[in-house]
Amino acid sequence: MGSERVAKDIASRVLAEFPDENIKPSGLDQLPDGMIKDLVKETPEAVEGVSWEKPKPGDEVTIHYRTLEADASEVDSTRSSSKPTTFILGKGQLGRGLDLGIATMKKGEVAKFTLAPYGGEADPTKTSPDASLVFEVELISWIAKQDLFEDGGVIKSIVKKGTNCHQGWRSPKVGEDVLIYLQVTKTGGADGSVIEERTHFEYNVGSDILGCLAKVVDKALLTMKKGEDVLLVCSKDYSDVDKAPDGCTIKLILLEFLEIVDVSLDKRGVLMKKRVKEGDWWDKPAADSRVKLQVESVSDGSSPLQGFCGPKLLEFIAGNGEVCDALELAVVEMKKGERAVITCTQPSLFCGPELGLTSISAGEVVVTAELIAHEKGEDPWHMTEEKKYQYCIGCKETGSALFKKGRHAVALQRYKRVTELLAYIDSFTEVDKDQAKELKISCELNKAACMLKIGDNDGVKTACGSVLQEDKDNIKAMFRRASAFFNGSDFTEAMQDVKRILELEPSNADARRLHQQIQSGRKDANNQTKDMYTNMAKKSLGKLNTPDIIPRTEEQQKEDEIKRLADLPSSESFKDLFYKPGEERRSDFKPGEF
C-alpha cells in the first residue's frame, strides 16, 4: 500500500468519530479533542514570506511526513523515497487528521501530531486499535489558491507573493494605472501555445482594453500586491472562444503601481509626473537639497527632440533655478530611486541649456528621468532665529533674481519657503520680530506677483488677504488683489479695492488705469448679459421686442433708480397733486398732516 493511502486510512479512522463541528477554522492553533500538537522545529527566519502566514483550505500543500506508533516504530514515511507529497488542503486527501494539523503550521515548520487510540478491529496497516499514532510533518511550501468568481471558472494560484510597496500592503483600485506582465496560454493540445504576451504593459484597472480577458484580469488585480506573480486557470466561459475554445491559463505579475501626480503649481494638469518605478519610502528632496537626476530621454511623445544628447546626469541644488522649471517642480516630488515619466503641455517649462533645449516647437514634451540620489542641507527649522532670518533673506534674493528672468514658478517656491518659515515668530526678540514680520509681508506680496503671472487668482487673494490683515491700507496688496478680482470678472470687489487706493493716492496711475479697465469690463459684461437674456426671450416667446421684460443687471437697476429719483417733482409741484384746480393753497400745515 502506498504511503499516501496508508496515511489517509489511518487518519480517517482516527478522526472518524470527530463531528464536523469540532473542526476549528484553519490557521488557528486549535485542534479537536484527542489530537495534540508538539513543535519539533520552528519556522526558520531565512524562509521567504511572512512568519504568521498559514495555509488555508483549497491551497495546494507540499509536505514530508512520517507515521509512527507510540513506541516510535515507523508505519509509513515519504522520507524513504525523498519525494514529498502534494495535495489540496481541506479535501481529506490524506485524511482529516493531517488537514487539521497542517492548517496550524507555518512554512518550514516541523511538528508532531499525536492522535488518541481509535479502538476497533485490527487492519492491514498492522496498527493496534489501542495504540496512539503520531504524524511527524514538515510543511515545505504551499500555493495559495482562490476561486475568484466562486463558480470554479477561474482559479487563482499564487506563484510568488507580493512585497511591501512602501504604501502598506495594498491592492490596485478601479481606475488606477498599473504596470503588469501578461501571458495567455491555450489550454489543451500538445503545444500549449502562447496566445498573447505583454511585457511591461501599462494597464488601467477597469478598462476594456484587454477585451474578454479584462474581467478576469481586473478581478485578479484587485486582490494582488506589488510583485505578486499568479496563475489564473480559466474555463472556456472566461476565455476567448475563438483563440482558446477549451479555456486558457493566464500568467499575471503586478510589477508597479503607476502613480500619477500633478506637479504643476496651479494644479491645472500642465505638468504631470507618472511614477514607473517606486523609490525608497517617503524621503523626497527639500529645497536646497543637492540632487543627482538622470535624464534618460526627451521626446514629443513619439520622436526624440532635437538638441538633447542623453542620457544625461544632472547635479544641482533644488530650488535655486539651476535647471529648467519643469525639472525643478518635478524633482521635489520624487523619491530616491524613483523613475518617472514627466509630461508637460507647456513646453517652455523645459527650455534650458542643461538639456540643450533653448526653444521647443512641439506641443508636448515627455521626459523620462530617475532620481539617483539627494543630500539635504541644514534644516532651517532647526536654525537659530538669526540664522533662519538670514536664510530667508537669501531665499528672497534668489526668488527676486528668478522673477526678473521670468521664472515665476520657481521664484514662487522661494517666496513660499520664506512665508512658511516665518509663519511663527513668537520666539524672536521684538526687534527681530519686526524685521521678520516685514520680510514675511514682502514675500507675501511677491508671492501674489508670481501668482498673477501664472494665473492663480485665488492664491493672489489669499496672499494679499494675509498682508491686509497686518496692514489694512497696503497699496500693493489692494492693487494685486483688485487685479485678481478683475481677472475673475468680479468687478464689484475689484472696484472697492481700486476706489480705496485712489482715496489714499488719487494720482496712482496704475490704479486709475485699472479703474478704467474695470468700468469697461463691467460694461461689456452688462451688454453680454443683456444679449443673453434677449436671445433667451426670443427663443421662448418668439419675436418680442419689449425691452421692459428683459431682466436688468444690478448696475442697470441702480442707474434706473437714480433716473427715477431725478424725475420726481419738486416739493412745490408735488403739493399741487393734492389741490383741485382753482383751490386756494394753505400755508398752515401741521407736522405730519401733509
Q: Give the mean model confidence (pLDDT) for residues 370-385.
A: 91
Q: Is 55 helix (H, G, I), strand (E, B) or coil?
A: coil
Amino acid 164: pLDDT: 60
pLDDT-based confidence at residue 393 (cuts at 50, 70, 90): very high
pLDDT in tens, 177-209: 999 999 999 987 555 689 999 999 999 999 989
Residue 133 located in a structural domain: yes
Cβ-contact 294, 367 below 8 angstroms: no
Give the contacts of 161 (CB within 8 A, at least 6 positions apart).
Answer: 49, 50, 225, 227, 228
- Rounded mean pLDDT, 153-163: 89
| Residue 582, pLDDT above cutoff 70 | no
The whole-number average pLDDT for the span 567-572 is 55
Shared-domain flag, residues 165 and 201 = yes
Q: What's the mean pLDDT when you consider all of the chain?
A: 84
pLDDT digits 0-9 by tens, 334-375: 999 999 999 999 999 999 999 999 889 999 999 999 999 999
Total number of domains constituting the chain: 3
535 in a structural domain: no
**CA distance linking residue 458 with residue 51, whole number of Å:** 52
In a domain, 174, yes or no: yes
Residues 248, 334 share a domain: no
pTM of the model: 0.65
Whether residue 256 has pLDDT greater than 70: yes
In whole angstroms, give the CA distance from residue 116 to residue 133.
Answer: 7
Which of 130-134, 157-161, 449-453 has the largest mean confidence? 449-453
d(CA 56, CA 43): 17
φ, ψ for residue 414, nearest 5 deg = -65, -45
* Domain's final residue, options 143, 165, 195: 143
Tell me if 243 is assigned to some domain.
yes
Higher-pLDDT residue of 86, 127: 86
Task: Answer yes or no: are the C-beta atoms of 385 and 362 closer than 8 Å.
Answer: no
Ranking 389-398, 479-488, 562-571 by mean pLDDT, the lowest is 562-571
Residue that terminates a domain, selected from 242, 257, 272: 257
Under a CB-based contact definition with an 8 Å cutoff, are residues 432 and 386 in contact?
Answer: yes
Distance, CA of 383 to CA of 376 (rounded, Å): 14
In whole angstroms, what is the distance from residue 141 CA to residue 62 CA? 5
Asked if residue 428 has pLDDT above 50, the reply is yes
Rounded mean pLDDT of 287-307?
94
Residue 76: alpha-carbon gap to chain centroid: 56
Specify the CATH number for the domain of residue 44.
3.10.50.40
Residue at 440 is within a domain: no
Nearest to 282 by CA among 327, 334, 317, 318: 334
Element (H, E) at 558: helix 554-566
Q: Which range scores top for mean pLDDT: 81-95, 244-258, 543-557?
A: 244-258
Percent of the chain with pLDDT over 70: 81
Residue 300, pLDDT above cutoff 90: yes
Do 201 and 323 share a structural domain?
no
Q: Give me the domain span that covers residue 246.
A: 147-257
Instruction: State whether 243 and 155 are in the same domain.
Output: yes
pLDDT value at residue 13 = 44
Residue 538 lies in a domain: no
Q: Are 258 and 339 in contact (CB under 8 A)?
A: no
Average pLDDT over residues 529-538: 76
Q: Is residue 412 part of a domain?
A: no
Residues 252 and 264 in one domain: no
Does 548 have pLDDT greater than 60? no
Asked if the model's pLDDT at residue 27 lies above 50, the reply is no
Is the predicted pLDDT of residue 18 greater than 80, yes or no?
A: no
- Tell me the C-alpha distance between 453 and 457, whole Å: 9
pLDDT in tens, 214-254: 999 999 999 999 999 999 999 999 999 888 888 999 999 99
Structure confidence at residue 10 as a pLDDT band (50, 70, 90): very low
Q: Which of 73, 108, 143 is the last residue of a domain?
A: 143
